[in-house]
Amino acid sequence: MTTIRKYDIIVIGGGHAGCEAAAASAKMGLHTLLITSDMSRIAALSCNPAMGGIAKGQIVREIDALGGMTGILSDKATLQFRMLNRSKGPAMWSPRAQLDKDYFSILWRNELTHTDSLEIIQDTVRNLIIQNKRVKGVVTDLWGEIQASRIILSAGTFLRGIMHFGAEQFPGGRIGEPPVNALTEQLSDCGIATDRMKTGTPPRINIRTVDLSLAEIQHGDSEARGFSFMHTASVFPQQPCYVLHTNAACHAILQQAIDEGLSPLYNGQIHSIGPRYCPSIETKIVTFAGRDHHQLFLEPEGHESNEYYLNGFSSSLPPEVQLAALRTIPAFQNVRFFKPGYAIEYDFFDPTQLKPTMESLLIDGLYMAGQVNGTTGYEEAACQGLMAGINAALSLLYTDKELILKRNEAYIGVLIDDLVTKGVDEPYRMFTSRAEFRILLRQDNADSRLTPTGHSVGLVNSARYEAFCRKEEQIKSLIQYITSLSVTPEEMNHLLRTVEDSELRQGVKLRELLLRPKLSLENLSSALPSLREKMEEANSVAPEVSESAEIAIKYQGYIEREQMEAERLLRMENLRLGDRLDYASIESLSTEARQKLQRIKPLSLAQAARIPGVSPHDISVLLVLLKQ
């Protein structure tokens, strides 16, 4: 007799979304099951062997601040770390790291297999068990029926996935891994809107066949800060990347292949929409026809591996065309592939049919996270998984508690609000430009914004929270010291002459000097031993204390201005809508507004105002109705 297995939460898919979801719900005390088709590919870096980047690095730091694991495990597996956009203001600084992809996956597997309340099985979900528009469990190929009252679907690119290698097509979510075909049809039958998207990946290069003397070397930062506020060190030494460029001969071969109908992107073989901000090499050739070169990056996939990722050369052209085009580049004259580039098409679901908690509006207890929601990128997937795991757990632990981050609280809040409010018409990728409050959402202050929240839901333990509180006290103490310390012309004028800044005629507070563009705490401390001593004391608690204090002082005016604007937005967020209005019956609303409001069911007036097609007049109508 078969005993039916029962859990609180089932997570489908062992990618970045699934890993964060499963870890979060289990650590919050819920009996969780993670189902993955291949335990050796848990948290696989399927495309780029890197984490972070513009805005994405901020997301990783936010995941870490909330108590997620992506940042800590990335730091342990780092091969090269860089803080991008250092030449710009701190709102634009973004951490990025090259990772050892195999070791990163091993770290995630070890983390999950040692997490209490979490089980993992290698199996494939055949369909969901849905009764009266509520999930009851899943049916798998090997174990049959498994019951749970909450399910988190994070199947990545596996939903009816098809890979394209020129004219050759193979079913699969990744090379060597079969697709999941039945779930899309089942959920579509339940009323969930679905569509197709496309993504791609470049060739993996055998670095032994590359003449690196003809490539530009690119080193990481000399001081590798990392993602996690726990300051976990990598087990590997830093490794360089390499920069190369395509050329006219390379472009000619690619263009000829496109003209001959060999590109699935342009011959009608692929119909779905790909990522605009990470285009294939074919798209670059067509879109930027006047360009005679494009930048390429060779990035290591492991600390002892000869396999390198060719960033910038994503392609679905036949492998022989890819190889011929690359061999026109001097450094690649004898290049060989481990794997050619390819494109993949897969199903996704309309994210406007989700609540901001990541739960479906149509099926109770079903949460969705990652590329199934139309996003692209490990970081975007991981943060959705974390939020889905937290909210699924909260829904079982409490009757009225949920975690919805606001747009002024986190890039995660921006991402989820964009998805559920605006939807997607191409793979969604996070950029700093998507956030209205970039100076508030800096990478350096993610813990200040989110660690108290992580502690309140049970993901940040007491020891970590106490360390966070000590850091916050040190930042305040250093700011107070800088604000109150008076300095004299005799102490400072030599430094001011050195940096070609105007000299002092009388004593001033140190804070006034720090506001000058040419001055920083680093060069000021060279003239003030007492300041150097105070900074060393503060930084012994956490290495970024001085940086955080300096940013808080230098950008105080901008920060206060954004906080005022965020408070104005918050007043609109507090005007709750929910199910209070029957939008279809409000004739004073435009037809488009009635349709979209009825479908999305915004939680607040502020969210309603962000829905494309809802005009200021429509918002005025809703405001009047709310007052009534």
For residue 110, the cross-strand partners are: none
* Residues 311-336 as b or e (16 or more Cβ within 10 Å = b): bbbbbbbbbebbbbbbbbbebbeebe
- By the 8 A CB rule, do 382 and 19 touch? yes
Task: Identify the residue whose tokens are 């705490």.
Answer: 521
- Cα gap 439→441, rounded to integer Å: 6
Residue positions forming the annotated binding site for FAD: 13-18
Angle at the Cα of 109 (from 107 to 110), degrees rounded to 5?
65
Distance CA 581, CA 579 (A): 6
- Among positive and negative, which fits the CA dihedral 464, 466, 471, 472? positive
Using DSSP's 3-state secondary structure scheme, residue 80 falls into strand
Neighbours of 599 (CB within 10 A): 15
CA atoms within 13 A on the CB side of 173: 26
Task: Please give the C-alpha separations between residue 12 and each of 38, 87, 158, 454, in angstroms, as whole numbers.
Answer: 12, 42, 11, 24
Residue with tokens 């300051």: 231
569: helix, strand or coil: helix
- Cα separation, 163 vs 316, in Å, equals 9
Dihedral (CA of 229, 235, 238, 243) sign? negative
Detail the residues annotated as belonging to a binding site for NAD(+).
274-288
Q: Which residue has the tokens 């975690």?
A: 403
Q: For residues 624 and 596, is the Cβ–Cβ distance under 8 A?
A: no
Tell me the C-alpha distance between 194 and 371, whole Å.
12
Alpha-carbon Rg for the chain in angstroms = 26
| Cα 441 to Cα 437: distance, rounded to the nearest angstrom | 6
Amino acid at 274: G
Beta bridge partners of 174: 177
Q: How far apart are CA 430 and CA 164, in angstroms?
A: 26
Known binding site: residues? 13-18, 274-288
Query: Beta strands 216-218 and 337-339: pairing type?
Result: unpaired
Q: Report how far residue 77's alpha carbon sits from residue 475's, in angstroms, rounded to the nearest whole number.
A: 29
Q: CB within 8 A of 410, min separation 6: which ones?
A: 62, 441, 446, 449, 450
7-35 burial code (b ≥16 CB/10 A, e <16): bbbbbbbbbbbbbbbbbbbbbbebbbbbb
